[in-house]
Amino acid sequence: MQRLYRKRIIVGVGGGIAAYKSAELIRRLKDQDADVRVVMTKAGQEFITPLTLQALSGHPVHLNLLDPAAEAGMGHIDLARWADMILIAPATADLMARLTQGVADDLLTTLVLATDAPVALAPAMNQAMWRDPATQANAELLRSRGFHLFGPAAGSQACGDVGLGRMLEAEQLAQCAADCFQCKALTGKHVLITAGPTQENIDPVRYITNHSSGKMGFALAEAAAEAGAKVTLISGPVHLPTPDRVERINVVSARDMLAACEAAMPCDLLIAAAAVADYRPEVVAQHKLKKDPSTGDGLLLQMVRNPDILATLASRPDRPFSVGFAAETQNLLEYASRKLKDKNLDLIVANDVANPTIGFNSEENAITIIDRELGQTSFTQTSKSKIARQLVSFIADRLNRS
């Protein structure tokens, strides 16, 4: 059930005796690395305590629509947007009837109306209630509106009756939830991405850097997360928001970036999109450098080589599938091909930063991928977000075949 990896699932708990199974359902979802939040109806709280479900989910249970603390920031809307799926288990006959009418008189029914995520119901009720024409009509109407119905199962019931109406077991419900998600290309993979420039201090006020904005690396992090990966983004100093579901680690210098990358290992895939300074001042002045008349109009800085982050990581015993970037102003493919070989990479992405429409700080890009096995593949100029999705798809296909 890798398809539940990092999925955001709201478990809605209605007011039925089967609510005791919700505890095991939450455990099953968490076992598959889903991120679970719980919303309970007032009736659901009569059957199982919020404290129990809080302990199992690891998060406070949401109980009230009109929670002053949460609603100061429109909390119910944020929660509706957060979810990848809402799974209501148990879904009682009453709750199903209210959903067909579009009722929004508590937090759970309001979330169902406010979300764009799929909604699944696990019916649980007396066998006579389930086969009643009104319940059957409601079930059919909900299906026609795109709701998923998981079950019910047949068997003995708490009231002593036997027949359809039992809520599916937790393991079955978790499998049904997983089946609603398409298996993505990087599901279960750990992807490490570097982005942005590095800064190398000259003194406490000045530093050496470059024009990288980090936009390409951040777009790649977002695309990799969309593809199901666990993403660690190690970024130099940039002014960009962290993509959703991405762990971001901020660094400054090339040596900082290497240390952060090594701490984040092992990973399955390394995409080194950062523009790392090749050199740094040999000595960093403790105080601001002043003009020295004895040197005339010049200033001499002695520079030393920075560690080669990409080559270092690509030569580890636990070497990941390694992808580099070659941002060049001339002889693009020649230099990129040399870098592919010298750094022991699987493929390299070449882009012409001399072109202002696809260079540093631009909103678009055009790239040529040089693959150790497949040769060259070019993507024409388009937005960096689209290029990122195309590139991640290409890399995932290559990774999964290697």
Instruction: Give me the active site residues, please.
Output: 159
Tokens describing residue 159: 């009231």
CB-CB contact of 322 with 337 (8 Å): no
Alpha carbons 183 and 218: distance in angstroms, whole number: 23
Alpha carbons 208 and 262: distance in angstroms, whole number: 24
Secondary structure of 155-214 in the HEC alphabet?
EECCCCCEEEEECCCHHHHHHHHHHCCCCCCCCCCEEEEEECECCEECCCCCEECCCCCC
Annotated binding residue at 339?
Answer: yes
Annotated binding residue at 9?
Answer: no
Buried b (16+ CB within 10 A) or exposed e, 257-273: bbebbeebeebebbbbb
Alpha carbons 140 and 360: distance in angstroms, whole number: 55
Residue 58 falls in which region: left (phi positive, over 0), alpha (psi -120 to 50) or beta: left
Annotated binding residue at 33?
Answer: no
Neighbours of 94 (CB within 10 A): 16
Annotated binding residue at 291?
Answer: no
For CA atoms 174, 176, 180, 185, the dihedral sign is positive
CB-CB contact of 165 with 127 (8 Å): yes
Neighbours of 198 (CB within 10 A): 29
Annotated binding residue at 309?
Answer: yes
Annotated binding residue at 310?
Answer: yes
CB-CB contact of 7 with 181 (8 Å): yes
Q: Which of these, 396, 339, 342, 340, lies nearest to 373 by C-alpha position? A: 340
Give the type of residue at 366: A
Annotated binding residue at 21?
Answer: no
CB-CB contact of 8 with 82 (8 Å): yes
Annotated binding residue at 370?
Answer: no
Residue 129, helix vs strand vs coil? helix
Annotated binding residue at 325?
Answer: yes
Binding residues for CTP: 278, 288, 307-310, 325, 339, 343
Binding residues: 278, 288, 307-310, 325, 339, 343
